Structure 1
Amino acid sequence: MLLNDKTVIITGASRGIGAAAALECARQGADLVIGYSGSPSSKGHVDELIQQIEALGRKAVAVGAPAEDPDTGEALVAAAVEHFGGVDVFVNNAGICPFHSFLDMPRETYLKTVDTNLNGAYFAVQAAARQMKEQGRGGAIIAVSSISALVGGAMQTHYTPTKAGLLSLMQSCAVALGPYGIRCNAVLPGTIETDINRDDLSDDGKRQYMESRTPLGRLGNPDDLAGPIVFLASDMARYVTGASLLVDGGMFVNLQ
């Protein structure tokens, strides 16, 4: 039980990486605050996730609010305090990636991506950190960045800067929050099969190419991120802060 009786907030947790991380945190003894967009289509996934968490003997509550709203972080923290007495771990996972070419990038697409992936994350991390400082027992903050923080993408000129920003945010917050015992780290997934890229990977040629560039020979799945997130959240990583952990099957080191 690496997270026994800890309270974990995860954003974008209705499905994909967030849901997989939530389930593994519950298996490791945590109670959960599930952040999701609030859309009716996501609500069914969240209800099912909460049932799975409760079947593991843990508790969970859901907060439906847009990740891009600067006030969403405070709502998530308030739910954690109300239901579980505080927050020990905050996982910023919410993100979007509407693939689009650069020269005709709609302004609204760019702004929506930056607000969802980075601006909302900034204020959510800030809200969690303030609560952790007030509690006085430290904590762990983990951002789900991406291999895209380190490499470019012609159809991701709006997305890659946000993931680089999350990585940089964790590095700076590690310095700013270290005196309070709050650790800040990032995980950098490679190509993970989620709703974000399902259409893109439906192209058999694209899928085979991505698999061929991955030394482990397969694309990732959400469960591949759950273990690294739990590790960084746990006391096993008590002296790890400001770090970035590639979870990409070796793809980055093979991009040459």
Structure 2
Amino acid sequence: MLLSGQSVIVTGGSSGIGRAAALACARQGADIVIGHIGSDDSAAEVATLMDEIDEVGRQSVAVGGDAADPETARRLVDTAVDAFGGVDVLINSAGICPFHSFLDMPLELYRQTVDVNLNGAFYAVQAAANQMKTQGRGGAIIAVSSISALVGGGMQTHYTPTKAGVNSLMQSCAIALGPWNIRCNAVLPGTIETALNREDLASPEKRDYMTGRIPLGRLGEPDDLAGPIVFLASGMARYVTGASLLVDGGLYVNLQ
């Protein structure tokens, strides 16, 4: 029980990596605040997740709202304080990746991607860190970046800069928040099968191509991120901060 009795906020918790992380933390003894977009679909997914968390003997509450709105971050923290007495861990997983060519990129799509992926991460991290500082017992912040922080993508010119920014945010926050024993780290997934890339991987040819580049010989699953995230959240990583952990089946080193 690596996270016994701790309070964990997970943004983007209704599906994909966020959902896997929330359930893994609950299985390790944590109570969970699940952040989600607030749509009917995400609310239904969260209801199922909350049932699973209840089955492992932990508590959960849900907060719907746009990650790009600073008020959502404040509500997540306030809910954690009211329900569980504070915030010990923040896992920022909220993100979008609407593939689009560069030269005709709609300005609104670019702004939305930056607002959700980068600005939303900043708001959540700042709100959680202020609460952790007030509590005086340290904390752990883990941001889901991407291998795209390190490599380019012709259909991701709006997305890759946000993930590089998230990675950089964790490095800078590791310095800024170290005096309060708040650790900040990033996980960098490779090609993970989630709703974000389901359409892109629908082509058998594209799927085979992507799989062929991965030394471990398979695409990733959300659960592949859960263990590394729990590790970074736990006391086992008490001297780890400012780190960028690749969780990509070896994809990045195979691209060099």
List alignment gaps of at least 5 residues for structure 1: none
Which residue in the other structure is 1:53 paired with?
53
Which residue in the other structure is 2:159 paired with?
159
Which residue in the other structure is 2:25 paired with?
25
Alignment of 1:40-119 (within 5 A): 40-119=40-119
Deviation at 1:248, TM superposition (A): 0.1
Alpha-carbon distance between aligned partners in 1 of 2:120 and 2:247, rounded to the nearest angstrom: 24
Deviation at 1:14, TM superposition (A): 0.3
3-state SS, counterpart of residue 140 of structure 1: strand
State the 4+ residue runs in structure 1 displaced beyond 3 angstroms: none
TM-score, normalised to structure 1, is 1.00
* Root mean square deviation, CA, Å: 0.4
Matched AA of 1:84 = F
Deviation at 1:120, TM superposition (A): 1.3
User: 1:71-110: per-residue Cα shift (whole Å, max 9, x none)?
Assistant: 1111000000000000000000000000000000000000
Deviation at 1:41, TM superposition (A): 1.1
Alignment of 1:149-228 (within 5 A): 149-228=149-228
State yes or no: 1:8 paired with 2:37. Answer: no
3-state SS, counterpart of residue 10 of structure 1: strand
Deviation at 1:70, TM superposition (A): 1.5
List alignment gaps of at least 5 residues for structure 2: none
Alpha-carbon distance between aligned partners in 2 of 1:156 and 1:2, rounded to the nearest angstrom: 36
Alignment of 1:34-45 (within 5 A): 34-45=34-45
Matched AA of 1:99 = F
Alpha-carbon distance between aligned partners in 1 of 2:120 and 2:222, rounded to the nearest angstrom: 22
Residue correspondences, number: 256
User: 1:9-63: per-residue Cα shift (whole Å, max 9, x none)?
Assistant: 0000001111111110010000000000001111110000000000100000000
Alpha-carbon distance between aligned partners in 2 of 1:121 and 1:254, rounded to the nearest angstrom: 29
Report sequence identity in percent: 72
3-state SS, counterpart of residue 63 of structure 2: strand
Matched AA of 1:131 = Q
3-state SS, counterpart of residue 252 of structure 1: helix
Alpha-carbon distance between aligned partners in 2 of 1:183 and 1:200, rounded to the nearest angstrom: 34
User: 1:183-226: per-residue Cα shift (whole Å, max 9, x none)?
Assistant: 00000000000000000000111110111100000000000000
3-state SS, counterpart of residue 184 of structure 1: strand
Alpha-carbon distance between aligned partners in 2 of 1:54 and 1:27, rounded to the nearest angstrom: 10
Matched AA of 1:181 = N
Alpha-carbon distance between aligned partners in 2 of 1:114 and 1:203, rounded to the nearest angstrom: 28
3-state SS, counterpart of residue 158 of structure 2: coil
Which residue in the other structure is 2:247 paired with?
247
State yes or no: 1:134 paired with 2:110. Answer: no
3-state SS, counterpart of residue 155 of structure 2: coil
Matched AA of 2:222 = P
Alpha-carbon distance between aligned partners in 2 of 1:123 and 1:24, rounded to the nearest angstrom: 24
Alpha-carbon distance between aligned partners in 2 of 1:44 and 1:137, rounded to the nearest angstrom: 35
Matched AA of 2:195 = D
Alpha-carbon distance between aligned partners in 1 of 2:3 and 2:205, rounded to the nearest angstrom: 41
